[in-house]
Amino acid sequence: MDDLQTARPGILRRIIAFPLTLMILEFLAVAMAASAATVGLKGLFPHGTPGYFLGGLGVAVLAILVYLACTRWIERRLAHDLPLAAMTKDLPLGILIGGALFTLMTGIVALLGGLSVEGVNGIGALWAMLVMAVTSGTIEEILFRGILLRHVEAMLGTWTALVVTSALFGAAHLANDGASLFAAFAIAMEAGVLLGAAYLWKRRLWIPIGIHAAWNFTQGWVFSVPVSGGNAPEGLLITTRNGPDWLTGGAFGLEASVIAMLVATGAGLLLLLRVIREGGIRPPMWARR
């Protein structure tokens, strides 16, 4: 009995180990490190060069290392959601899913008259788009799925965690150029549900990282469409969008299209069904006993 009492963690350790505390500490650590590294990237490498891409890879790797350090030294556990052995299988699968979904959605919009291809640019802003895809896919998935979803789930259960993180992910895009309430809602539905389900499917981050990166790269570089608002990048294809905002997404880009929301959310719901069948839905902390 004395040995058990001696081995019990102290109050400070129990406070730190509580999911809410871990969520705050880890979110701040990864966000601050990634922000500082991004500033350094822009100052050290000319924009849109191969060196800029290598620097972007370095930023993504740094975010991963900070997350691994947090799980090892703050949570005192191994990061089972970023196993190196699974990367060579999971990451290509995620890239395939993300690229295929955005291409499918764009094809439907084109068939409905909302997008047309006018020509080919060549490589366009290839290196800049690769950096955007790699850094946004890695950093945002670590923050929203690896940290927020995982710790909210530990406290409030899977369904609440999925709703909360989807809403937060949509709200995070409200400050972007061309954003609207509908655009934020579309992002919450298509990206929040799809990427959350992709994480819950295997309980690993490589698949949602791949989906997120490929989705952004396909829309920005392949189809030259604004990525979550802003100006349309110079990508592989010269495209024009014509028609109502519900079809084309307006200034925000195709992500704010009803078609994108239906395609991506549908894929996310299919993944969620698989999660449910495999027993991947967890109750809130007070119901586990």
pLDDT in tens, 226-285: 999 888 889 999 999 999 999 999 999 999 999 999 999 999 999 999 999 999 999 999
Instruction: Give mean pLDDT, residues 47-73.
Output: 94
User: Strand, helix or coil at 85?
Assistant: helix
Give the model's pLDDT for residue 94. 98
262 found inside a domain? yes
**Does 67 reside within a domain?**
no
pLDDT classification of 3: cutoffs 50, 70, 90: very low
pLDDT value at 13 more than 50:
yes
User: Does residue 7 belong to any structural domain of this protein?
Assistant: no
Is residue 139 a contact partner of residue 63, using CB atoms and an 8 Å limit?
yes
What does the pLDDT read at residue 66? 97
Backbone φ and ψ of 120, nearest 5°: -125, 135
pLDDT at 6 over 60: no
Q: Provide the whole-model pTM.
A: 0.94
With CA atoms as reference, report the closest residue to 121 among 207, 35, 232: 232
pLDDT number for residue 5: 47
Note the pLDDT tens digit of each residue in 143-195. 999 999 999 999 999 999 999 999 999 999 999 998 999 999 999 999 999 99
- Say if 231 falls within a structural domain: yes
pLDDT score at 1: 41
Inform me whether the pLDDT recorded for 199 exceeds 50: yes
**pLDDT tier for residue 4 given thresholds of 50, 70 and 90:** very low
Percent of the chain with pLDDT over 70: 97
Predicted local confidence at residue 289, as pLDDT: 63
Residue 5 lies in a domain: no
pLDDT(87) > 80? yes
Residue 32 pLDDT exceeds 90: yes
Q: Is residue 2 pLDDT above 70, yes or no? A: no
Number of domains in the chain: 1
> Percent of the chain beyond pLDDT 90?
84
Domain-embedded: residue 224? yes
pLDDT value for 124: 84
pLDDT, residue 48, reads 84
The whole-number pLDDT of residue 122 equals 84
* Domain membership of residue 217 as a residue range: 85-287
pLDDT, position 78: 83
Pairing of strands 237-241, 115-120: antiparallel
DSSP conformation letters of 179-242:
--HHHHHHHIIIIIIHHHHHHHHHT-SHHHHHHHHHHHHIIIIIS---SSSSSPP--SEEEEE-
Contact 235, 129 (CB under 8 A): yes
What is the model's pLDDT at position 7?
62
211-218: average pLDDT: 97
Residue type, 157: G
Beta-carbon contacts of residue 276 (< 8 Å; ≥ 6 apart) = none
